Amino acid sequence: MRLYQIAVREVGRRKARTLYTTSSIALSVALLIAAMMVGFAGQKDLLLTIARYGHSLTIFPATTNETSLQRFGIGVGHYIPEDAIPEIQRTYEAAIRAGWEKRGGMVLDAGAPGGVDNLQPALFTPRLYEETTIGGRKVVVAGVRAQDEYKARFWWEVDAGSLLARDDEVMVGKVFSRVAGFKPGDPMIINGRPFRVCGVLRETDSPDDYMVFGDLKAVQSVFGKPNRVSLVNVRAMCNYCPVGEAELAINTKVVGVRATSQREIAEAQHKIFKNVTRVIFGLIMLCFVVSCMAVFNMVMGSIHARMREAGLLKAVGASRGQLMRLYMYEALVIGLVGGAIGYGIGCGLALTLGPWLIDGAPIEARWLYLPIAIGAATLTSVLATIYPAHHVAGIRAADAFRAL
Amino acid sequence: MVELRGLSKRYRIGDQVVDAVVDVNLSIGSGEFVAILGHSGSGKSTLLSMIGGLARPTAGTVVIGGEDIWRRDDRFRALFRNRRIGFVFQFASLIPTLNAVENVALPRRFGEAAAMARAEQDAILLLDRVGLSDRLYCYPSELSGGQQRRVAIARALINRPGLILADEPTGDLDEETEAQVMSLLRESALEFGAAFLLVTHSRDLTRDATQVVRLRGGALQ
């Protein structure tokens, strides 16, 4: 019969106490694990968003006040001349190169400067947005340079048919396809000109889902807007690009356009998310303090019974250290059980509530969190037990003897 | 075996000073059965606690087997209790989650590792000796009062102590069981050559004692 076996049996004997203590710890652990899982998924989702937008800029006509991704000044007659794009491009590249040179070379990986010569040209993808009516429904038609667009929006995939390849084809967003009932092969009349639907874009959770995409030249021609684009998206082909400097350069040097960094918007969201996560973790730490106090109260509450037991064990030769070890083993058992149960409940909470809290975030149960759960539970249990155990183990043997 | 010299214990309850034990001098030889008689509150249990290394005396010495136990540290006294002293308490005082064998073997858990290896075999032999060979793996809740007391006696004997201290060991037992328990304690002490110190308020239990001392107001009479 070893000390830990005595501890395990003691924990099993005091069922009500064990249940109360364990559930208090398990609840705190469950909150911690659920918050970690949901927080991790949310973080991943935001980082993916940042990666999608990349170190990118969107360039609007300077006369447009609208900067949101949803409207872009559509239908209000603000355009950028297509032949201004090379100037924008030159200004952008020069600013990026100057930015890297100022930093002592291009950064290939975080903290590792590389050569400016490795710089890849950015992708410039102009779009012309025009509003029209198709099949009795209002819809935005986007004219794009298909090949450049595919490179910049590498996450684009088709659910049915194929990607846009010819100037007499159009590709439709998933939501528009569902609502208007268009499928690959269907004819579509835009402003009196016939097109054929080549494919349906897989859902992207962006305004693209509601649009019809055609070749830029064809759309310019159909709507009588030759050499006009509504905006130009710029996707930098480097990590940690000094996009802010390019944004400044375009805004000060190119007349008639206004550049806005997409990354900054996503990073601002990321910062808010991180702050909210910190507050949640702070509250969870408070839960741990409360459960620590609950365990402490529970152990202190049973101190009279423990004094009798301590007296007996001391009388048969147990040292103070051995008694402390016995109580610590009990705390460990409660911590292990509470941690494992808390992990299970936490995973369940995260998988159930996570998708509701963060729409579309990929919530995954991670085994890595199991040792964290058990560690947190054990630490709580042990910390809460130290003082009562010290008190009981240090009881004057004569007092305990009298108690017997 | 046991030498008590000028042993005293004084403590305070609020402003009141209580002399629980006053200048006790006593010698107990190996194999001797000494009974300490006294009423409740006469200081019997306090005296026993000081002899057993559980309560520090205010004055005087307790020498057991040549060792002045109150000159040594707590760790030494814990080990000393484990190896040299067997306690039998007023009540059975068994650990409820351990069966009879495990309860008897418990002191071995706190002693040397080598002794632990044979703990279960020795516990079974002792339980057999106290007549509980058919109740080896019963838990305390499954044993009668007398049986529990016998388990406690077997536990006190597991390390073959040189001194057995019994504090009112038959307090809650019927007459027949009381006689059995006393006879068992006395025989065991004789068999192990241990000094046996019994604290009781019952004169009947002192019949076989080699020495009977009376404690009144903390002092021997």
* B contact residues 39-68, partner A, Cβ 8 Å cutoff: 45-46, 49-50, 52-56
Q: Residue A404: is its pLDDT beyond 50?
A: no
Please give the pLDDT value at position B105: 92
Please give the pLDDT value at position B176: 81
Please give the pLDDT value at position A396: 67
How many C-beta atoms surround the C-beta of residue A194 within 10 A? 9
Q: Residue A202: is its pLDDT beyond 80?
A: yes
Mutation for testing the A interface, residue in B18, B49, B75, B160 having most A CBs under 10 Å: B49
pLDDT band with cut points at 50, 70 and 90 for residue A106: low
String of DSSP letters for A246-314: HHHHHHHHSTTEEEEEHHHHHHHHHHHHHHHHHHHHHHHHHHHHHHHHHHHHHHHHTHHHHHHHHHHHH
Please give the pLDDT value at position A110: 46
* Domain shared by A288 and A238, yes or no: no
The ipTM value here is 0.85
Please give the pLDDT value at position A112: 47
A211 three-class SS: strand
pLDDT for A279-304, tens place per residue?
888 888 888 888 888 878 877 776 66
Please give the pLDDT value at position A313: 86
Q: What b/e readout covers A270-302, taking b as 16+ CB neighbours within 10 angstroms?
A: beebeeebeebeeebeebbeebbebbbebbeee
Q: Is B18 on the interface with A (CB under 8 A)?
A: no
* Domain shared by A397 and A287, yes or no: yes
The amino acid that residue B143 corresponds to is: L
> Under an 8 A CB cutoff, do B53 and A313 touch?
no
> Under an 8 A CB cutoff, do B97 and A13 touch?
yes
Domain of A164 in residue numbering reads as: 63-255
Mutation for testing the A interface, residue in B74, B97, B148 having most A CBs under 10 Å: B97
> Under an 8 A CB cutoff, do B95 and A6 touch?
yes
Whether B66 is covered by a domain: the verdict is no
Q: Residue A116: is its pLDDT beyond 80?
A: no
> Under an 8 A CB cutoff, do B87 and A308 touch?
no
Whether A58 is covered by a domain: the verdict is no
Domains: count for chain A: 2
Helix axes A243-253, A85-102, angle to 10 degrees: 140
Whether A151 is covered by a domain: the verdict is yes
* Domain shared by A10 and A74, yes or no: no
**In the listed set A200, A227, A255, which residue is the last one of a domain according to the structure?**
A255
Whether A57 is covered by a domain: the verdict is no
pLDDT for A49-101, tens place per residue?
666 555 578 898 987 654 444 444 454 568 999 999 999 999 998 998 888 77
**In the listed set A205, A221, A255, which residue is the last one of a domain according to the structure?**
A255
Comparing alpha-carbon positions, the chain B residue that sits nearest to A310 is B95
> Under an 8 A CB cutoff, do A6 and B111 touch?
no
Residue percentage of chain A with pLDDT more than 70: 83
* Domain shared by A243 and A332, yes or no: no
Whether A55 is covered by a domain: the verdict is no
Q: How long, in residues, is chain A? A: 404
Contact of B190 with B183, CB cutoff 8 Å: no
Whether B134 is covered by a domain: the verdict is yes
Q: Which residue has the higher pLDDT, B152 or A16?
A: B152
Whether B7 is covered by a domain: the verdict is no
Whole-structure pTM value: 0.62
- Strands (E) in chain B, as ranges, are 2-13, 16-28, 33-37, 59-64, 67-68, 85-88, 163-167, 195-200, 211-216, 219-220
Neighboring chain B residues of A15 at a CB cutoff of 8 Å: none
Please give the pLDDT value at position A51: 60
Whether A40 is covered by a domain: the verdict is yes
Q: Is B169 on the interface with A (CB under 8 A)?
A: no
pLDDT for A181-200, tens place per residue?
999 999 999 999 999 999 99
Please give the pLDDT value at position A73: 42
* Low-confidence winner among A85-94, A391-400, B19-28 (lowest mean pLDDT): A391-400
Whether A52 is covered by a domain: the verdict is no
The amino acid that residue A237 corresponds to is: M
Q: Residue B21: is its pLDDT beyond 50?
A: yes
> Under an 8 A CB cutoff, do B55 and A315 touch?
no
Comparing alpha-carbon positions, the chain A residue that sits nearest to B91 is A404
Domains: count for chain B: 1
Comparing alpha-carbon positions, the chain A residue that sits nearest to B73 is A319
Whether A53 is covered by a domain: the verdict is no
Rounded to a whole number, what is the distance in Å from the CA of A402 to chain B's nearest CA? 8
Q: pLDDT averaged over chain B?
A: 88
Q: Residue B184: is its pLDDT beyond 90?
A: no
Beta pairing class for B219-220 and A257-261: unpaired
Q: pLDDT averaged over chain A?
A: 82
* Low-confidence winner among A204-213, A376-385, B176-185 (lowest mean pLDDT): B176-185
Q: Report d(CA A380, CA A293) in Å as an integer.
A: 9
For residue A156, which of A135, A171, A166, A168 has the smallest C-alpha distance? A171
pLDDT for A333-349, tens place per residue?
989 999 999 999 999 99
Q: Judging by beta carbons within 10 Å of its beta carbon (0-12, 13-18, 19+), is residue B217 exposed, middle or buried?
A: middle
Counting one residue from chain A and one from chain B, the pairs whose CB atoms sit within 8 A come to: 82
A73 three-class SS: coil
Angle at CA A300, nearest 5°, toward A295 and A304? Answer: 140
pLDDT band with cut points at 50, 70 and 90 for residue A318: confident
Supply the CATH number for residue B80's domain: 3.40.50.300
B215 three-class SS: strand
* Domain shared by A109 and A227, yes or no: yes
Beta pairing class for A187-190 and A193-201: antiparallel
Contact of B199 with A401, CB cutoff 8 Å: no
Q: Report d(CA B141, CA B139) in Å as an integer.
A: 5
pLDDT band with cut points at 50, 70 and 90 for residue B92: low
Average pLDDT of B104-128? Answer: 84
Rounded to a whole number, what is the distance in Å from the CA of A13 to chain B's nearest CA? 7
